Structure 1
Amino acid sequence: MIDILLSLFFFIAVIAGLATSIMVLFSKKNYSKSFFLGLFLLSLAVVSIYNFYLSANTIKNFPELFTITKSFIFLAAPCSFLYVRNILSFEKKGIRKYDWLHFLPFLIYFVLTLFAYVGSFTTLKAAQYIAQLIKNPFSILALTIWLSYVFFQTMLILNYDLKKFKGDQFHQIKVISWIKVYNLMILFLFSALFVHHFLLRKIDVVDISCYFLISSVLFFTVGWLYFRPQIFHDEEEAFDFVNDNAVSVKSKDNKNNLVITYELTAEKKEDYLVKLDYILNANKLFLKKDFVIRDLSDETGISVHHLSNLINSEFGLHFQDYVNLKRIEYFKDKINDPEWKDLSLEGMAWGSGFKSRTTCFRAFIKHTGKSPSEYFKTIRKNSDRRGDYRLNNAST
């Protein structure tokens, strides 16, 4: 019964892992950023095929060709490291010139397993020797190398300087929070594999505990990505599953405990507020679908850091929430416009600058407590309540 349950567990891991990895690898958005994550998931999914072979082979004989798939475990550690490096990198180029060197251990082991499999049909002693040599991929040397990858990956995260990032810093904070969770998961996997093999390496009986750990990590990662697929499709909402409060710090001037990095004088702050309001509303910049804080900085001449500080302290909002509230205001002003009378709610959302129907729905729920359709009905029936959800200064 246990063998059947394990086989079912590994088989589901294969299907879920392959489906998710293909979706990531063929994602059109941020290809260079998600490529190595896709390879990481693919490696664990293919290793799960070998896991299935080990568990199901006790019930029914399967072709030994499945043994070739165990070599894909050598992709997991380098792909995880390269994924984190590319996410935290300030460079636009994701795949570098010598990244292929990280895949040499995988290529060597794959060729050896293929040679051992083909040699099993012959009487070559070399093939038998290699087959015995590579029987277990979890050697102390291999596991030590994998742990070193995790160590350097951890150092990348600990030494990451957010101040050098030139984009939407609050979005990047969410990204880093996800990366930290991901790193702990990988650290747990390879540490557990190392300790397990170190303690049980003299046991000759086939033990699938290591493979169970691998498939469990695959399930964990796929689970996150299944419930938050925006990571592949919508850069604006990527990593939204991380709680904003987890990365906030307390401030006397900020009731929402948002991050404030730079201080502005009262005179400078007033000057920036006037310029921000005029340029943003006069040019309707918030109607741009891919509008980011860098665009606003270019238009106003105010640095990204000062814009973040200004919006946080004066409105108690993240930049994206500030822009979405502007879009909701525009939606409210235009909803009774004759030009909009034949538009669907989706068309209105698009006309208000929202990137997708999902983005619009979440913004309305978050800032008004109503869905777009409920909000639509409320405004149509109560047109006299046109100021309910206007942006208010945090001091009022």
Structure 2
Amino acid sequence: MYNILLIAAIFGFVLTTLLFSKKSTHPTATFFLGSFYFLLSVYALQAYIIDGGHLANCSWFFLWPLIPYNLFAVPVYFYFITIIEDEYKWKNTHLFWFLPFILSIIDVGYIYIQPDAVHSKLLHTAITNPQNRLHASYWLLNLDQHMFLRHLWQLLALLFVLPKLLSFISNNGTNKLKNLLNKWLLIFWFGLTLFAVFAIFYAVGNRLGHNIFEGGAIIPITLYMIMFLVGVIPIYFPTILQGYPKVIKMIPKDGQVGETKKNNKFGLHEEQVESKLKLLMDKKIYLKQDFDLTNLARELEIPAHQLSYFIKEHYGVNFTVYKNNLRIDYGKRLIHEGFLSTNTMDALALECGFASRSSFSKVFKNTTTLSPSEYDNKIKNND
């Protein structure tokens, strides 16, 4: 059972690394999401170490994690708000979400300034009787009260953003990328809510000294399973590792004062992307053998799925057709300039970025209805 926690921790650390290392169209939201998964990973790992009976070999992994754990509500709240409002703005009222964190600093600091025997006693109890470790008394709160408070705050944050989330989801529902984001946000919100609710049940049960439900292992097992699912569910939404659909607010071109219009490209500033794309096409990077959607997206520093969406919306074709059109246009230009008078058809194919003459001829005919040779003869006859 405890191996579930270890797997969740591993997945969480991998996801955290990906979120922090990859470029994103929404870096602030990515940061908050990565921060949450880092906290969840440490949380799952410590639960595996303590509940699995490994704390004696990892005694350093004790007490201090209480401080970051009590930040759970912070990245959760800021992540949803940043996505929903399309920006991050600090407000003094946000200090409310840091209350469990502040209390944990006080309590952990209090234990650390006590004689070593106090810390050693708490550690010994956690090692020998991990099931009752939540009864440990600090200064302001017991450990089970800290657990209850941090997940209560997490639940409050989720309930607070729910009306805004539902309103956000109801807008622009016909967009494919937006629909994907809506689905992810709903599932993520639901998973976090279950996590918070069962963690509260677990803390209350420990506080009262008996289990709320029949069967003593139901709540902890369910809680572990929820942690596991929350940790691995992004596998179903790989695009969140690359960025988030983002609504770009645009000022009307006529300069009149009024309500701003919203660009429905979700994450793509058309003018910026088009300008960068034109510069790259002027360099003829489409002639390289390795020219593909992934490499072009890397050059433009935007997610590949959003570049694909941009090309489809802006040019009315998919990426493969877009690439082939560029290459065939270049090939036609070379033929007009007399390239085939001094070079072979194989050389022309390679010059246009194709791996073989056959693939070049096939794409050329599909695009122009003529083979390269027929196109060359037609030009000569017209001359």
Which TM-score band (shorter chain)? 0.5 to 0.7
Cα deviations across residues 191-248 of structure 1 (Å, max 9, x unaligned)?
223344445642279x887665555444434434346544233557x9xxxxxxxxxx
Selected match of 1:333 from 325, 328, 337:
325
Structure ranking higher on relative contact order (CA contacts 8 Å, 6+ apart): 2
Uncovered stretches (5+) of structure 1, i.e. residues with no partner: 239-279, 291-317, 349-372, 389-396
- Structure 2 CA distance for aligned equivalents of residues 84 and 134 of structure 1: 30
Aligned-partner residue type, residue 233 of structure 1: Q
Letter in 1 for 2:187: V
Show CA shifts across 1:125-152 (max 9, x none): xx98526942224665554433222211
Q: 2:80 aligns with which of 59, 78, 84?
A: 84
Cα 1:227–1:130, aligned 2, differ >3 Å: closer, same or farther?
same
1:381 aligns with 2:362: yes
CA distance in 2, matches of 1:192, 1:85: 24
In the TM superposition, what are the counterparts of 1:1-396 in structure 2 within 5 Å? 6=2, 8-29=3-24, 30-57=26-53, 60=56, 62-63=58-59, 65-90=61-86, 92=87, 94-98=88-92, 99=94, 101-119=96-114, 121-122=116-117, 129-130=137-138, 133-137=141-145, 141-160=149-168, 163=171, 169-198=175-204, 201-203=207-209, 216-226=225-235, 228-233=237-242, 287=277, 321-322=312-313, 323=315, 325=317, 327-336=319-328, 337-338=330-331, 341-342=349-350, 380-381=361-362, 383-386=364-367
* Kept after mapping to 2: 8 A contact 1:48/1:211: no
Q: 1:344 to 1:234 in 2, by over 3 A?
A: farther
Q: Give yes or no for contact 1:47–1:72 (8 Å, CA) kept in 2.
A: no
What's the secondary structure of 1:75's corresponding residue?
coil
Rounded to whole Å, the distance in 2 between the matches of 1:118 and 1:70 is 16
Q: Which residue of 2 aligns with 1:362?
A: none
Cα gap change, 1:222/1:56 in structure 2, threshold over 3 Å: closer, same or farther? closer
Say which is worse superposed, 31-40 or 143-152, in terms of deviation: 143-152
Verify the 8 A CA contact 1:44 1:214 in the aligned structure 2.
Answer: no
* Matching residue's letter, 1:321: K
Q: Deviations over 1:269-327 (max 9, x none)?
A: xxxxxxxxxxx9xxx8895599xxxxxxxxxxxxxxxxxxxxxxxxxxx8763446165
Normalised TM-score (structure 1): 0.55
Cα distance, 1:71 vs structure 2 = 4.0
Query: For residue 20 of structure 1, what is the amino acid of its counterpart?
Result: L
Separation in 1, partners of 2:279, 2:220: 44
Give the whole-Å Cα distance in 2 for the aligned partners of 1:102 and 1:42. Answer: 18
Partner amino acid, structure 1, of 2:70: F
Percent of pairs with identical residues: 14
1:141-181 deviation line (CA, Å, top 9, x unaligned): 55443322221122221232765x7xx95433321221111
SS at 2:70 equivalent: helix
Q: 2:302 corresponds to which residue?
A: none
Task: Pick the structure with greater CA Rg.
Answer: 2
Counterpart residue type for residue 72 of structure 1: P
- How many angstroms apart in 2 are the aligned matches of 1:118 and 1:57? 27
Within 2, Cα distance between the matches of 1:64 and 1:162? 48
The one-letter amino acid of 1:151's match is L
Q: Cα RMSD (Å) of the superposition?
A: 4.4
Question: Scaled by the length of structure 2, what TM-score is found?
Answer: 0.57
Letter in 2 for 1:41: Y
8 A Cα contact 1:14 1:45, kept in partner = yes
Deviation at 1:113, TM superposition (A): 2.5
Alpha-carbon offset, residue 100 of structure 1: 5.0
Q: Report the CA distance between 1:96 and its aligned residue.
A: 1.8
For the residues of structure 2 that align with 1:95 and 1:344, how far apart are their CA atoms?
Answer: 49
- Residue 159 of structure 1 aligns to a residue whose secondary structure is helix
* CA–CA separation in structure 2 for the residues paired with 1:289 and 1:87: 31
Q: Give unpaired runs (5+ residues) of structure 2.
A: 123-135, 247-269, 281-308, 335-347, 370-383
2:65 and 2:225 map into 1 onto residues whose CA distance is 17
Number of aligned residues: 277
Provide the residue aligned with 2:264 in structure 1.
none
Partner of 1:249: none
